Structure 1
């Protein structure tokens, strides 16, 4: 029994150690991308790009060894890194676009690492508000307001799009991309499309579905496993100790009775 308990303890200590190592790696990646994003927000594009280049080298090497990443995932990660770096090196690109490109990369890295609520879902309000404003402007017949809100919606959608490719099934990504492309393509002659309101409704429903699906407050599996197995080990050791105490007490009692 002692050997079994020792074996279980060693296994879970090893498991916990490797889990902590995994979190440390993620923390380093998170630190680099967040520092880069902060620098870009402050207008320091040179140093922001330098950090991204450091991160790209380390992250891509790690990603290629990750069996959970598909070839499409790797391509999405690589393209998103390159888009952000090109954006930061182009003086003609608007500062807000530079921030958006790095933010999109930040969300993508999180989507690739997290097992629970991804950060891109926190963009729900930023994406849905201009879409709802688009619908309101369309119903009022205000084409100028519609155009403004459409551009804002597309801007926010592009930020989360790489994360959608990473997190969602191909069919869902294809469907939502088709709906958004339709709104972009027919922005001028929307009044001549009988089913335009239907497309707006479909886009809104589909986006709400992907933002709300899979929401959970359950702790990540690794943390939960460490917690529960820790309780099991403590409980088992306590039980073994109690059994040993009862056994020793009974032996002493029999010994006293024999002596008497």
Structure 2
């Protein structure tokens, strides 16, 4: 009973700092929340509210950049471009709802890619992207021209949505390989529809896309989290060992005491 109490106290003590940190919202986390709130407003057709949130994001971004948050030049460029596109989308009365969502989603994914290097949100697009690409392949192999163009355009639209985020989390060489294959398939559509050699590019691109998602969705826990887990587990094991040793020593003392009484 005493051992269980000691272990509980130690666990609570170790997790206390983590809980305190979790309750404190950092400036960059707040910016991430604002990007998500703006997207939710767009989904609800509340475009004016979304624009206000995006404008507020810009104000907060300027106030903390260089002071509390450090971004790379590429991150700043990509984030600025996607933010501008999102603002323009919410202010454009003629743009359709789906396109507004796509633009603001792109910005939302970029912000998350910066703040969440481990399994960022854009990796959740794996299923729709790979499904549409499978339809592109099927249409190419069957020679269905209309379906091929339609599904390829859908794929390009989805890929464009996550492309800025990919540029943040993925190395440049891997992106260049993807770009080369996608550009070839898009530029030489007639050949991809009719030539088996060109259709091999579809297979190669599919493999590269799958590798991209597989690498990003591997179980890559934050190293600091592993340190906490290992430290906590080690302390618990040591505590249990110490308590067990104390109990063993106490039992031995009782046996010795009982033995002396019996002799007396």
- TM exceeding 0.5: yes
Equivalent residue for 1:151?
153
Equivalent residue for 1:186?
188
Q: In structure 1, which of residues 32, 38, 41 is the aligned counterpart of residue 34 of structure 2?
A: 32
Equivalent residue for 2:112?
110
Q: CA deviation at 1:99?
A: 0.3
Segments of 5+ residues of structure 1 without an aligned counterpart are: 1-11, 251-260
Q: CA deviation at 1:223?
A: 3.1
Alignment of 1:63-212 (within 5 A): 64=66, 66-67=69-70, 69-188=71-190, 190-191=192-193, 195-212=197-214
Q: Is the CA contact (8 Å cut-off) linking 1:43 and 1:95 kept in structure 2?
A: yes
Change (3 A) 1:211 1:242: closer
Give TM-score scaled by structure 1 length.
Answer: 0.76
Separation of aligned partners in 2, 1:241 and 1:106? 51
Give TM-score scaled by structure 2 length.
Answer: 0.75
Paired residues, number: 243
Q: Is the CA contact (8 Å cut-off) linking 1:63 and 1:74 kept in structure 2?
A: no
Change (3 A) 1:60 1:200: farther
Map Cα deviations across residues 157-213 of structure 1 (whole Å, 9 max, x no partner): 011101100000011112212222222223356446663202211211111110111
Q: Is the CA contact (8 Å cut-off) linking 1:115 and 1:220 kept in structure 2?
A: no
Separation of aligned partners in 1, 2:61 and 2:239? 41
Map Cα deviations across residues 96-143 of structure 1 (whole Å, 9 max, x no partner): 111011111222222111242111111011111111101111111111
CA RMSD of aligned residues (A): 3.6
